[in-house]
Chains A and B, each alone.
Chain A
Amino acid sequence: MLKFSYCNATDLNQALVQCRFAGSFGPLSSRRRSPRAAVSCSRSNLTPIQAVLSCQQQVGSDPVESELGSLADRLRLGGLTEDGLSYKEKFIIRCYEVGINKTATIETIANLLQEVGGNHAQSVGFSRDGFATSPTMRKLHLIWVTARMHIEVYKYPAWSDVIEIETWCQNEGRIGTRRDWILKDVATGEVIGRATSKWVMMNEDTRRLQKVSDDVKEEYLVFCPREPRLAFPEENNKSLKKISKLEDPVQYSRLGLMPRRADLDMNQHVNNVTYIGWVLESMPEEIIDTHELQTITLDYRRECQRDDVVDSLTGPELVEGSKIHGTNGSATAITREDDLDCHQFLHLLRLSSDGQEINRGRTEWRKKPT
């Protein structure tokens, strides 16, 4: 497995200097690392693209001693795959990442997906603001924003399980890119989950979506597989499903949610993963106690600022042509009638103040395994 050992204190230095989050964050870490920084590439087996990349890493860099990767990199157990087009990393589930079900929470999984996405971006030399902005994008003040996130979990890992997450990016239309993930249990090799996300380019000054020329796209697309590779290759899969807007009157709600300090990421924005927690806050307790989340799809409409107050609303999703759920108003009644033991809900997060939509979502739940 070709492993790009980095970092590239030098490369990181360059990347982060232009990073829009210029603060103590980037330069501080690169400065501390420079005495031992590792810019080591095995020159054999490099594809032309990777050779170019490693060349770029050397340009303008201070002479550094090469080591076999910093301790963090060795410990991280992640690296680009042999063809350089995807990234894999292993994680062990920690005790505090486990929830009431004794298994990893969906927030933990979402955090790990985000982490591995960021590590992938870093390993190919992009900035670590979580959104993989290439140098040209930063020059044009472009950033990626999440448009949709879709996660399916087939088997939740338990404390001290080791999972391996593979991730890659692909082009999607003129302004979009997609990032896919596959999660596997290392012990059994089985696929325990899949996820996909769609990102669009936005100008950070105008806050408007912006199309870019092809060569700007090319800059980051070199690292993506050219052949379409989808985590969800099947037709009409749920990641493509349109989410209807939940209308009043709404069956379940939790009002007045506020971002905590811990919900803010290093860029002072409400972390994407926080929204997942908010969506689940208005789920009826009967379902949470007896079922586990199988699928979650979130469409992000509007950012939430640290002073906003949010309402979380939930209602059952009415399925055409099959049993209508929830008309009795009681979730337990549904459980008895429903032979599939699977429930679908629609969600809405909106500002308490003016009702503006922040995001909308859809979840599917299955009965907990005994």
Chain B
Amino acid sequence: MVATAVTSAFFSVTSSPDSSDSKNKKLGSIKSKPSVSSGSLQVKANAQAPPKINGTVAVTTSVEGSKNDDGASSPPPRTFINQLPDWSMLLAAITTIFLAAEKQWMMLDWKPRRPDMVIDPFGIGKIVQDGLVFSQNFSIRSYEIGVDQTASIETLMNHLQETAINHCRSAGLLGEGFGATPEMCKKNLIWVVTRMQVVVDRYPTWGDVVQVDTWVSASGKNGMRRDWLVSNSETGEILTRATSVWVMMNKLTRRLSKIPEEVRGEIEPFFMSSDPVLAEDSQKLVKLDDSTAEHVCKGLTPKWSDLDVNQHVNNVKYIGWILESAPLPILESHELSAMTLEYRRECGRDSVLQSLTTVSDSNTENAVNVGEFNCQHLLRLEDGAEIVRGRTRWRPKLAESSANMDQISAERA
């Protein structure tokens, strides 16, 4: 499972739960590539070394050394890596992820999982990987568990948001508030998210500890991409992958802006050159209207607790509203496995929203497996102005639940 997840990340192959046969096939294809002489896993940063801020950036040359000595740097990663252009950044990311994957394949018992990371007591997280990847652990709290007995999608998204901000802070890229670097603040610029894609392989439950890794890359000339990888801290199993696209906006004029040179200077040292952690969902998101929507929920209003420090509705809250109009039978028997959102407009305290949902034909090519559903969503204001457009995929809840019920009745007897 991890193997497919990892390989799909870098080969832009749609991941699918597959039999062990196809998994072996993928491994096989990796191994058959010719090996190249370069065996060094040394990673060089971009021309500018990431600035040290209060010693929080872990310069990891020693870590690289230990990786070289470690028997875990075995042929498969090297072979795979050598297929790609000589991007040392990519090497670093892949190595990290492969080491985690390898642990699964070889059933190695690594504790702690990454020697460069100490479990930090207050969960503030650390920058690893030459200062480019930020990593933080979260323990799932009881109030983060939803009706499904697992962490809710909002909880997951909250964790992503938290690591993004902590990454900026650790890198010294946080000006006033949460959305801008110091140079951006001077120019009244903020980052706004335009697109979010999330794939959940498994939801954590109460008491699980998840590790969230995040990094940024360039997206076109004037955008930024932020990727996340969420894994189970104890087992290393990958739980969730997410990627997001951000653009710069002037917060006063509300117009999009190019990235000014001063800001480029601040952020480019932190960009990794890597492919997105998720294959881009290139399908056009359809705009629903009253005639095409099957389910509509009206009169949704933000509460005080939905607002962030700028008095705008927090991005994560939109997901809750989107799901308000999802049909209850699907919500009860299925779980959200993938989601693509396009953010069009923000809304504030006084907005009144409507949530529209349509269940797509589950027999189209979009649905990968039997029993899965696709839904299309729209969140809009009463006057029709679009807030978020989305698509979700749902898979049947794990059969484990029914197995547990059997166990419970057996124990009661």
Binding site for B on A (CB under 8 A): 7, 17, 22-25, 27-29, 31, 33, 36, 70-72, 74-77, 90, 92, 94-96, 98-100, 102, 105, 107, 111, 114-115, 118-119, 128, 130, 160, 162, 256, 260-262, 264-266, 268, 271, 273, 277, 280-281, 288
Q: List 27 A-B contacts (CB under 8 A).
A: A17-B408, A24-B405, A27-B407, A28-B400, A71-B209, A72-B139, A72-B207, A72-B209, A75-B119, A75-B139, A92-B122, A95-B178, A96-B158, A96-B162, A99-B309, A100-B304, A100-B308, A100-B309, A105-B305, A111-B141, A114-B142, A115-B141, A128-B206, A261-B146, A265-B147, A277-B305, A281-B304
Contacts of B135 in A (CB 8 A): none
Shortest distance from the beta carbon of B328 to any chain A beta carbon, whole Å: 9
Cα A169 to Cα B320 in complex, Å, equals 35
CA distance in complex: A33, B178 (Å): 37
Q: Which chain A residue shows the least CB distance to B303?
A: A277
**CB distance B142 to A130 under 8 Å?**
yes
Q: Using A96-B161, A99-B304 as known contacts, list a sample of 17 further A-B pairs with CB atoms less than 8 Å apart, ordered by residue number in A.
A: A22-B405, A23-B404, A28-B149, A29-B207, A29-B208, A33-B207, A71-B234, A96-B162, A100-B307, A100-B309, A102-B309, A107-B305, A115-B142, A119-B142, A128-B206, A265-B145, A266-B146
Q: Is the interface of B mostly helix, strand, loop or mixed?
A: mixed
B323 at the interface (CB under 8 A from A): yes
The smallest C-beta distance from A66 to any residue of chain B, in angstroms, reads 15
With A27-B407, A96-B161, A260-B320 as contacts: A277 and B304 at CB distance below 8 Å: yes
Contact of A94 among B162, B398, B412 (CB under 8 A): B162
Q: Contact at A76–B139, with CB atoms within 8 Å?
A: yes
What number of B residues sit within 8 Å (CB to CB) of A? 54
Q: How far is the CB of B240 from chain A (nearest CB, A)?
A: 17
CB <8 Å contact, B303 and A92:
no
Task: Kindly report which residue of chain A lies nearest to residue B410, judged by CB atoms.
Answer: A17
Q: Which of A27, A28, A95 contacts B162 (CB 8 A)?
A: A95
Contact A262 B320 (CB under 8 A): yes
Instruction: Tell me if B331 counts as interface (CB < 8 A to partner A).
Output: yes
CB interface residues, B 176-229, toward A, < 8 Å: 178, 205-209
CB-defined contacts of B124 to chain A, threshold 8 Å = 92, 160
B119 touches A71 (CB 8 A): yes
- A118-B142, A262-B152, A268-B147 known; A28+B161 contact, CB < 8 A: no
Nearest-neighbour CB distance to chain A for B109, whole angstroms, equals 11
CA A110 – CA B166 in complex, angstroms? 24
Q: Across the interface, which residues of A come within 8 angstroms of B178, CB to CB? A: 95
CA distance A17 to B410 in the complex (A): 10
Q: Is the CB of B320 within 8 A of A261?
A: yes
Asked if residues B233 and A71 are in contact (CB atoms below 8 Å), the reply is yes
Query: Chain B residue with minimal CB distance to A96?
Result: B158
B143 and chain A: residue at smallest CB distance: A111
Q: How far is the CA of A314 from the CA of B95 in the complex (A)?
A: 58
B157 to chain A, nearest CB (A): 9
How far apart sit A252 and B234, CA to CA, in the bound complex (Å)? 50
Q: Which residues of A contact B28 (CB under 8 A)?
A: none
Residues A90 and B154 in contact in the complex (CB < 8 Å), given A96-B314, A98-B309: no
- With both chains docked as a complex, state the minimum distance between the C-beta of A288 and any C-beta of chain B, in angstroms: 7
Question: Is there contact, CB below 8 Å, between A261 and B147?
Answer: yes
Most buried by A among B142, B165, B209, B331: B142
**Shortest distance from the beta carbon of B147 to any chain A beta carbon, whole Å:** 5
| Bound: A298/B326 CA distance, A | 33
Given A72-B207, A95-B178, A105-B305; A266-B320 close (CB under 8 Å): no
Interchain CA distance A115-B178 in the complex, whole Å:
26
Bound CA–CA A130/B299 (angstroms): 32
- Given A94-B158, A99-B304, are A23 and B149 neighbors across the interface (CB < 8 Å)? yes
Cα of A100 to Cα of B162 in the assembled complex, Å: 17
Q: How far is the CB of A173 from chain B (nearest CB, A)?
A: 27
- In the complex, per-residue mask of B304-339: 1 if CB is within 8 Å of any chain A CB, else 0: 110111010010100011011000000100000000
CA distance in complex: A265, B146 (Å): 6
Contact pattern, B 151-181, Cβ under 8 Å of A = 1, otherwise 0: 0101000100110011000000000001000
Q: Tell me how far the C-beta of A104 lies from the nearest C-beta in chain B, rounded to whole angstroms.
A: 11
Cβ-based interface call for B65 (8 A): no
Residues of A close to B206: CB separation below 8 A = 25, 29, 128, 266
The residue in chain B whose Cβ has the minimal distance to the Cβ of A162 is B122
